[in-house]
Amino acid sequence: RAKAGHRGTFHAFEPRMDEEVRGRRALEQDLRGALERGEFELHYQPQVDLATELVSGFEALVRWRHPVRGLVEPGAFIPVAEETGLIVRLGAWVLARACADAAAWPVPARVAVNLSPVQFITPGLPEAVAAALERSGLPPGRLELEITESVRLIDNDTNLLVLHAFRDAGIQVALDDFGTGFASLSYLRAFPFSKIKIDRSFVSDIGRDEGCLAIVRAATRLARDLGMDTIAEGIETPLQLLQLRQLGCAEGQGYLFGRPMPGADVPALLLAEPRRVVAG
């Protein structure tokens, strides 16, 4: 009986796996050409100072302008790009594009760029970052690299050295998705991040969940005591803004202030300052 059950399960899942594999292969092949065809673009989401609601920087978020599927969000292709190693070239393109865009902004705002963990375990990242800065002329202090907490990155001495080299060069390093990943507290002890980004999941429930409120309060205080800045992700309501401000969180990002926008829209927004940024 156990055998029959096993076989049954196997057969039930086989067609779906086939489909999945075929879909992935197609996506993989499509992705390979996308970089050469120039189908990727960066959108920018404003990051604001919570006290004044003035823009302090932008996070660069990659999108794929697919000829058939339209604008594809990173969640649909970054994982495949990571598994196939394409993320290394895509990541280098993102760095170069973001630095060049930011260098041309009419106001010296900061630009935050997401780095994949796969980029870290591939040699050449420091060179790619240095090249992006040099070619664009962007001062290192205006670049912030975001690394996600969702994998154990800094257990590794080589990765730690790379991060220290960034900080020594004056580049800011933020810990993304704080609170969702591994060993948050030991991370903060192991490396002097410039900033921690409190994950959206805590922000979204801050108004109805005492636990979330407590966690955000503790994270903000901890960061402050360690000399790190804090930014809250995914702020959507005025109440969330109010609470985060009261907790002493310095910066925020979310639909309340602005959605990710095409790079071409950024200069106008910067020139409109110091008007308040409104949800778009």
| Beta partners for residue 230, in sequence order | 196
Contact 148, 177 (CB under 8 A): yes
Query: Candidates 9-17, 36-44, 90-98, 170-178 — which segment interacts with Mg ion by CB under 5 A?
Result: 170-178
Q: How many angstroms separate the Cα of 6 from the Cα of each of 14, 65, 225?
A: 12, 43, 55
Nearer to ligand C2E, 32 or 201 (CB): 201
Q: Which does 45 bind (CB under 5 to 8 A by kind): ligand C2E, Mg ion, none?
A: ligand C2E
DSSP per position, 61-120: EEEEEETTTEEE-GGGTHHHHHHHTTHHHHHHHHHHHHHHHHHTSSS--EEEEEE-HHHH
Contact 100, 136 (CB under 8 A): yes
Nearer to ligand C2E, 70 or 75 (CB): 75
Cβ 204 to ligand C2E, closest distance in Å? 8
Contact 34, 40 (CB under 8 A): yes
| Beta partners for residue 231, in sequence order | 197, 251
The answer to whether 251 contacts Mg ion (rule: CB under 5 A) is no
CA distance 256 to 235: 6
**Footprint (CB under 6 A) of ligand C2E, residues 111-170:** 114-116, 146, 148
Among positions 67, 75, 227, 274, the unique one binding ligand C2E when judged by CB under 6 A: 75
CA distance 69 to 146: 28
The answer to whether 179 contacts ligand C2E (rule: CB under 6 A) is no
Q: Which does 116 bind (CB under 5 to 8 A by kind): Mg ion, ligand C2E, none?
A: ligand C2E
The answer to whether 175 contacts ligand C2E (rule: CB under 6 A) is no
Chain positions contacting Mg ion, by CB under 5 A: 114, 146, 176-177, 199, 233
Chain positions contacting ligand C2E, by CB under 6 A: 45, 61-62, 73-75, 78, 91, 94, 114-116, 146, 148, 176-177, 200, 233-236, 253-255, 260
